[in-house]
Amino acid sequence: MDIKYDEYLEKGTEKLLEIFSSSDISEGEKEAVVSAFSDELVSNIGDTCKLQDYEHLIYSVSLKYIDDCLSKLLSNTEASYSDYEKAIKYCVREKEILQIFQVKKWSVPVISNNDLDKCESTIRTRQESTSISSKISEEDHKIDELVNTAQTELSVSACDKALELLEELANDLAICKQKKLTVPSVNNKDTKKIAKKVSDIRKIAEKKESLHQEMYGIDSQIDSIVSMPETSPKHWEEVIALCQRQMPLISECNKKHWPQPSLSHSDTNGLITKYQHYIHMNDLDKAIVSSRSLLESGKQYKVFFSNCSQLSNCIDTCKKNKWMLPELATTNPQKIEAEVREEKKQKDHVKKIKQTITLAVAGVFAVIMLVVFCVLKYREGKVQIPFDPDYVEGASLSTIVNELDEAGFENVQKVADYSGWLQSDQVISVSIDNQDTYKKDAYKKPDVSVVITYSSSDRVYATDLLKDWKSSKYTDIVENLKDAGFTNIVTNEVDTAEKDYDQLVEAVELNGLPYKNEHCYLPKNAPISISYYALKIGIGNDSAQFIGQDYKSVVDSLKESGFTNVQTEVINTGWAKGNTVIGVNVNNSDSYSSSDSFAPDVRIIVKYSSNDRIDITDLVKGWDTKQYESLKTGITLKAFTNVTYKEKLTDNKSLNKLVASISVNNQQFDQGDCFVQKNAPIVVEYYVLRITIGQSASDFKENKEGKYKAVVDSLKEMGFTNITVYRNDDLFNGWITKEGSIESISINGNETFEATNQYYYNAPIVIVVNTFKGKGCEDITKTK
């Protein structure tokens, strides 16, 4: 090309920028064109006369690049809808460039796709097929999800959506067949069968939802009462009655393994206990209020004090369980009990004074003197208790020991207690003279047994180690405790379906007591129990539901669910369709329920049938009514290489030649789908008629005219099929030897057989009949 180098570079670059301004040009095409243009410049930098026409060069490179891209897309059997969109654009671009070549009268480089109209038509057909195939695959996947949801959650809405999609899938599959488009592989091809299954699930789901609705109704009634700011005994009885109605419904849910509805008040036993507790408190309150003004006898006081004590305990139970206290007239039974005891004490004191006044002054003086004497005598040689039981709790061991020594107690024992959470060497209790209740300054003998129970030494402060335990991984908490020297730590799993909870601590128990962030000191060998959440994933299907599904879909589904240890095992036995699931072994078990859950790393083995199988379902369908020769012909045409045929003797003529049994891959085949490898061992057993003759040879030779006809008919009736009758043509007048009588009969060449002899149905039977030459017995055509 006669052009200056700089001018070629400038004009070529302008043309490139002009072409590249189009949004239809890909980055790949741009790179190819720029590379070719650069190579042309570099190759001819010393001789510009050899430079190609830059326009021809640019459009030639573009044409080849587009044609190559188009060829790749056409050869891609798994191209997507968007890929075909690109291919259509390539067709349009290639047509435009070819038009430029035609206008410029340039020679067209060699390209693979000359008939672009045909290419575009092919692409649009494939695109339509891909579109509906994608839609079918999406519908099929969604149906699988909905059926799984319908099964696990027993959801009516999921069933209804699945039925709608099944109808749509059936229509789309019909469209594929009508338009002769490639039908994609789907799990729910038999839409009627799946719809029947979904309808059955829906019936159960309706019953479940009806039960749930009833449970929600009762729960709502319970909640309306429980949430009231103030309730009466009538309300408490209503709650109890509602809970008693709810309990069998919850039990029915559990019995049928149906998912539990989310109830505000699912702990019906707890509610019954709570409100029965309220009723008991109300009864005690009424008894206290009504009897206070009527107290006279010791028995009445005893009952009254018991009622006060019980009511006080009931109030403590409410506080412990964080229950709202019911409205009672007696809000402080301990105070009422103390007041009444004081009143009784005063009454008793007045009564005693009155009795005392009636005594003689001398007697009174004598009594007083006696009391003083006795008190002095009692105190003689004794020491006083320096504290009461409440004082010692939490005090240091050394302080209590010193106080007892100073008071004069001689028999002091110290017992270390390894339970509880107190700080080291803090006193838990002091028992004096084998009693835990005593009064300060009371007199005791100095040698009485005094036992100080104190918190064991060398305790570790565990509170900081358990900081934020509710949001911590259990391994971190265990590590912290072990680093601090704790040696008796056990862990317990608590199943959870929430991924966010996995491995987090659920509960902590220290020295047998539940921990809730209190201050805590523990011996290093104290029993520590850490409960933590362990993620468990629902398997989604029971063991039988996996069978028959495409194994890759099952593997993908299990992995999508979160299982990380999914393995496969190919099975060469059986007669299932290739690549379909034979069974799924989970945690070394082949039997499990769809509601079962497992750890994400549980070992799962998906066993599937080998893919080297031929469909012989139609061939073996109704095998028990087939002639074995027909089955043998079909098997031979399929080119199976390991087939054995076995006879099975029978005396039933109707069974002759029928197939008796089929064994495939060393298993007896019954009915159903049958996919078999060409080298699979196939054994066909068939019936062969074997007949007991019932008469000896001489019995057939009765000298009776036309006897042979009855004999032949009898033999055929028995099931013999290979009978040959000959004329002997040697009768002279037929007076002695009757025409049509039998001269000889042989079976398998035996002319002297007995009545008990047995022969196959096709054994050759030869009968020679006495006949005149050339006349009579015309039905016999062969001559001996």
| pLDDT for position 23 | 62
Q: What three-state secondary structure class fits 213?
A: helix
> If pLDDT is split at 50, 70 and 90, which confidence band does 258 have?
confident
- For 504-537, write each residue's pLDDT tens digit: 999 999 988 999 877 889 998 899 999 999 999 9
**Cβ 238 vs Cβ 225: under 8 Å:** yes
| pLDDT for position 291 | 87
d(CA 355, CA 493): 72
Amino acid found at 346: Q
Q: What is the mean pLDDT of residues 158-182?
A: 83
Lowest mean pLDDT among 35-44, 77-86, 92-101: 77-86
Q: What is the mean pLDDT of residues 610-639?
A: 87
Q: What is the mean pLDDT of residues 182-190?
A: 81
d(CA 451, CA 431): 5
Amino acid found at 761: Y
Joined together, the tokens standing for residue 178 give 């009508």
| pLDDT for position 766 | 96
Model confidence at 481: pLDDT above 50: yes
**Cβ 747 vs Cβ 711: under 8 Å:** no
- For 317-354, write each residue's pLDDT tens digit: 998 888 888 888 888 989 888 888 888 888 877 777 77
d(CA 468, CA 102): 80
Q: Please name the residues in contact with 60: beta carbons below 8 A apart, sequence gap of 6 or more.
A: 109
d(CA 744, CA 741): 9
| pLDDT for position 2 | 58
| pLDDT for position 556 | 92
Model confidence at 9: pLDDT above 70: yes
d(CA 113, CA 121): 13
- For 690-728, write each residue's pLDDT tens digit: 999 999 999 998 889 889 999 999 999 999 999 999 999
Q: Which residue has the tokens 């003529």?
A: 653
Rg of the Cα trace of the chain?
Answer: 51
**CA 647 distance to own-chain centroid:** 48
d(CA 56, CA 104): 9
**Cβ 767 vs Cβ 745: under 8 Å:** yes
Interstrand relation of 604-609 and 667-669 (parallel, antiparallel or unpaired): unpaired
Q: What is the mean pLDDT of residues 359-366?
A: 49
CATH numeric code, 460-535 = 3.30.10.20
Q: Please name the residues in contact with 745: beta carbons below 8 A apart, sequence gap of 6 or more.
A: 697, 700, 701, 711, 751, 765, 766, 767, 768
Phi, psi of 662 (to 5 degrees): -130, 130
The whole-model pTM stands at 0.42
Q: What is the mean pLDDT of residues 642-659?
A: 91
> If pLDDT is split at 50, 70 and 90, which confidence band does 359 have?
low
Lowest mean pLDDT among 20-24, 27-31, 542-546, 692-696: 20-24
Higher pLDDT pick, 485 / 150: 485
Q: Which residue has the tokens 């510009």?
A: 48
Query: H or E element: which one contains 317?
Result: helix 298-320
Domains 538-611 and 615-691 share a fold: yes
What's the sign of the alpha-carbon dihedral 659, 664, 667, 671?
negative
**Dihedral angle at the C-alpha atoms of 614, 617, 623, 625, nearest 10 degrees?**
-140
> If pLDDT is split at 50, 70 and 90, which confidence band does 183 have?
confident
d(CA 529, CA 510): 7
- For 558-611, write each residue's pLDDT tens digit: 998 889 999 999 998 888 888 999 899 999 998 898 888 899 999 999 999 998
| pLDDT for position 719 | 94
Model confidence at 365: pLDDT above 50: no
**Domain coordinates in residue numbering, the chain:** 5-114, 363-455, 460-535, 538-611, 615-691, 693-783
Q: What is the mean pLDDT of residues 645-660?
A: 91
Q: Which of these CATH numbers, 1.10.3470, 2.60.40, 3.40.50, 3.30.10, describes 615-691?
A: 3.30.10
> If pLDDT is split at 50, 70 and 90, which confidence band does 440 have?
confident
- For 29-72, write each residue's pLDDT tens digit: 888 888 888 888 888 776 777 788 888 888 889 889 989 998 98
| pLDDT for position 716 | 93
Lowest mean pLDDT among 371-385, 439-453, 483-497, 713-727: 371-385
Q: What is the mean pLDDT of residues 151-172?
A: 88
Joined together, the tokens standing for residue 202 give 């829906």
Q: What is the mean pLDDT of residues 255-266?
A: 86
Higher pLDDT pick, 232 / 715: 715
d(CA 310, CA 171): 74
| pLDDT for position 296 | 83
Per-residue burial over 607-643, b if 16 or more Cβ lie within 10 Å, else e, is: bbbbeebbebeebbeebeebebeebbeebeeeebeee
Q: What is the mean pLDDT of residues 722-750?
A: 90
Among 161, 169, 206, which Cα is nearest to 188's?
169
d(CA 723, CA 765): 5
> If pLDDT is split at 50, 70 and 90, which confidence band does 360 have?
very low
- For 662-696, write each residue's pLDDT tens digit: 999 888 898 888 999 889 999 999 999 999 999 99
Among 388, 598, 594, which Cα is nearest to 497's?
598
Among 438, 437, 419, which Cα is nearest to 428's?
419
> If pLDDT is split at 50, 70 and 90, which confidence band does 356 have?
low
Say what percent of the chain tops pLDDT 90. Answer: 29
Average pLDDT, whole number, for the chain? 86
Q: Which fold has domain 538-611?
A: Trypsin Inhibitor V; Chain A (3.30.10)
CATH numeric code, 363-455 = 3.30.10.20
